[in-house]
Amino acid sequence: MTDLDQAHAAMEAAPEDDAARLRFYERLADTELFMLLSAEAADDQVSPELFEIEDQRFTLVFDREERLSQFVGRVAPYAGVSGRALAGMLAGQGIGLALNLEVAPSAMLIPAEAVDWLVATLSNAPNETEARLTEVLPPHVPEAVVTGLDRKLAIAAGLARSAYLTAARYDDGATGHVLAFVDAVPGAEKALAAAAGEALTFSGIEAGVMDVLFLRAADPMAARLARVGLRFDLPEPVAPQTPGAPGMDPAKPPKLR
């Protein structure tokens, strides 16, 4: 059972549970998917194999290379790309995802409308504001938020050293929560803020607000956060490997043609 299989099973077991459905789509966005191609990729251009099912167009994707091989039963061209990148490539084209058909418990058809919804949800960028913290306190957030942050920050390997989640009070009297990243890599702030926002969005918590702060380890505020905050340690970066199949380099996702 892969992460996607488990999230799919939880969603199927509770069809009325919006949080379970959100978690499935979060896993889909974060998972490396392998898309069957109609021809070998050339010049970073890929041609997905498209199928008509119930008067809708779908491209075949699998969350394991061996699952793709099992379905096809022969040597076939494919591209590996994250679910979020693939959804962005397909958005607005009326193409859905035929996921793990016939080879896994997570087999399902994801219609084009759901692909477009996922892209719109992932595109919700955080707003940049200015405020001054006056007090930090132990956090009090639902477990779903903590679990979501833990998973998201595990994916953000090497982008920061650590992060602290605390309750916060500001100089204007407002209260909320803040996620403070310590020693973030220059230029990674946008990606880290987006990851934090997605963790909140896909946790299923309505009207949730969480501010994001960036600090250096030497800042006095970092010590204050460490005393009362919930700490997340981001993994060390993994040495990049030479991409094999088209699309496996996350810095250069393929383009549809």
Assess whether pLDDT exceeds 80 at residue 251. no
Question: For the ranges 151-155, 164-168, 206-210, 215-219, which has the lowest average pLDDT?
Answer: 206-210
pLDDT given at position 89: 93
Average pLDDT estimate for 117-145: 86
* Residues β-bridged to residue 50: 59
Question: For the ranges 25-29, 103-107, 108-112, 196-200, which has the lowest average pLDDT?
Answer: 196-200
pLDDT given at position 40: 85
pTM, whole model, 2 decimals?
0.80
- Per residue in 63-98, pLDDT (tens digit) is 999 999 999 998 899 999 999 999 999 999 999 999
* Fold (CATH) for 133-233: GMP Synthetase; Chain A, domain 3 (3.30.300)
Instruction: Tell me the pLDDT band of 207, cut-offs 50, 70 and 90.
Output: very low
Percentage of the chain modeled with pLDDT above 90: 65
The answer to whether domain 3-123 and domain 133-233 are alike in fold is no
Percentage of the chain modeled with pLDDT above 70: 89
- Per residue in 136-190, pLDDT (tens digit) is 999 998 888 899 899 999 989 999 999 999 999 998 888 889 999 999 999 999 9
pLDDT given at position 257: 57
Q: In CATH, which of 3.40.50.1820, 3.30.1370.60, 3.40.1350.90, 3.40.50.300 is domain 3-123? A: 3.40.1350.90
pLDDT given at position 212: 92
Using alpha carbons, list the distances in angstroms from residue 115 to 88, 94, 147. Answer: 8, 9, 24
Top pLDDT among 9 and 174 is at 9
Average model confidence (pLDDT) across the chain: 88
pLDDT given at position 124: 76
Q: Where are the domains of the chain?
A: 3-123, 133-233
Assess whether pLDDT exceeds 60 at residue 243. no
pLDDT given at position 241: 53
